[in-house]
Amino acid sequence: MMATARTLTVLAVGSSLLLGCGEPMRGPEGSALRIVAVAPSIVEILYELGQGDDLVGVGDHCEWPPEVATKPRVGGLLDPRLERIAVLEPDLAILLPSEQALAGSLASLGIEVLIAPAETIEDIEVAITTIAERTGAGTAGERMLEELRRSLTPKPVAEGLEVLLVVGRQAGRLTEIYAAAEGTFLNDLVSRLGAVNVLADSRLRYPRVGLEEIVARSPKVVVELQPQILGEKARQELVADWRRDMPGPVPCVMVVEGSHVLLPGPRLGMLYRQLGEALVACGEVG
C-alpha cells in the first residue's frame, strides 16, 4: 500500500539548494545533445520542453510521459549505473543537488553536468529556465513557465484550514510518518490555497513526526499523498488507520494519488487542482 522508502527516494531526488551553470549551446559541432537525467522531475521537464528525443538515458523510476518507457535505464539516486551511463556517451547530464556524488563521477569522465534546483515552486521555475536555455529550448521554456504560473494562480479556497501533508508512513499503522514542512513545493501549494501547514515551523523540510506531536498540532485535515494509483480498498484502509489510531477528534482524511504527486515538475498544476478539491471537500464536511 505504502512504499515509504520509494517515497523518500523520490523526495530526496527532488531536494535542491544549488544551481549549476552551462552556456546555451548544442552538442559537438552543433549536433543534437545526448542527455542523461536520473530524476523523474527533470525527465518530465525535458519532455515538456520538446527535448525527449535528446534523452539517451533516464532513471529507473521515470514513468511519464509514456514514451519514456523506451529509454535506456541508468539506475536511481541510490544506485546509479556509472558504467551504463558512460556507454551511452552523453554530452550532458542534468542532475539535482542530491546527486552531487554522481555529478562528480560524471565530470571526471568529461561529461558536462548541469545541476538544477527543484524543491520550492521558485526553484522549479529557475530549473525550467536554466534547462531550456542550456538545451536551446528557450521559447518552449517561456511557454512552459507561463502555463505553470497560470495553473498555480493563488486560490484561497481553504482560508486558515490547518493541514498535515503526509508523504510516507508505515503501512497499516500511524508510525514512521513523514510529512512536508516549509521550504517544499507541497507547502507552497497549500499556502496558495489559503491553508496552513501545521508543520510550517519545522527545521526539516520532510520531518518524521510521531502521533503525539500530530495530536498536539491538531490538524483539521490530513492529506495522504500516494505516488501511485490505489484501489478503493487501499484508500479506505488509509482512512481507517486514522480513525482507529488517532486519539481524540479525528481529522478529515483525504487521499491524493498519482505518479505526479511527489514530483516537482510540469504536472504540478494537476496536483494543485487535486489538493484544492481535497481541501474544499474537507472544509464542507467540517
Least confident of 14-18, 103-107, 138-142, 252-256: 14-18
Q: What fold, for 4-151?
A: Rossmann fold (3.40.50)
Rounded Cα gap, residues 169 and 4, in angstroms:
6
Residue with the larger pLDDT of the pair 72 and 12:
72
Instruction: Report pLDDT for 17.
Output: 32
Please report which confidence band the pLDDT of residue 80 belongs to, taking 50, 70 and 90 as the band edges: very high
User: Domain residues of the chain, as ranges?
Assistant: 4-151, 162-285
Instruction: Report pLDDT for 14.
Output: 43
* Three-state DSSP class for residue 225: strand
Instruction: Report pLDDT for 285.
Output: 57
Rounded Cα gap, residues 162 and 169, in angstroms:
20
Count of Cβ atoms closer than 10 Å to residue 144 Cβ: 21
Condensed to tens digits (0 to 9), the pLDDT of residues 164-191 reads 999 999 889 999 999 999 999 999 999 9
C-alpha cell at 178: 513523514
Mean predicted lDDT score pLDDT of the chain: 89
SS3 labels along 117-129: CCCCHHHHHHHHH
Which candidate, 60, 61, 137, 126, places its Cα nearest to that of 92?
A: 137
Rounded Cα gap, residues 118 and 10, in angstroms:
12
Condensed to tens digits (0 to 9), the pLDDT of residues 192-221 reads 999 999 999 999 999 999 999 999 999 999
Instruction: Report pLDDT for 32.
Output: 74
Q: 260 and 270 in contact (C-beta within 8 Å)?
A: yes
Instruction: Report pLDDT for 27.
Output: 52
Rounded Cα gap, residues 258 and 165, in angstroms:
15
CA 169 to chain centre: 17
Instruction: Report pLDDT for 171.
Output: 80
Rounded Cα gap, residues 96 and 246, in angstroms:
37
Condensed to tens digits (0 to 9), the pLDDT of residues 247-267 reads 888 999 999 999 999 999 999
Query: 235: buried, middle or exposed (CB in 10 Å: 19+, 13-18, 0-12)?
Result: middle
Please report which confidence band the pLDDT of residue 283 belongs to, taking 50, 70 and 90 as the band edges: confident
Architecture (CATH level 2) of domain 162-285: 3-Layer(aba) Sandwich (3.40)
Query: How many residues can be counted in the chain?
Result: 286
Confidence check: pLDDT of 109 > 80: yes
Report angle CA 250, 8, 257 to the nearest 5 degrees: 55
Q: Which residues pair with 178 in a beta bridge?
A: 168, 208
Rounded Cα gap, residues 42 and 54, in angstroms:
13
- Tell me the residue ranges of DSSP E strands in the chain: 35-37, 55-58, 92-95, 112-115, 162-168, 177-179, 196-197, 208-209, 221-226, 252-257
Condensed to tens digits (0 to 9), the pLDDT of residues 117-154 reads 989 999 999 999 999 999 999 999 999 999 999 999 99
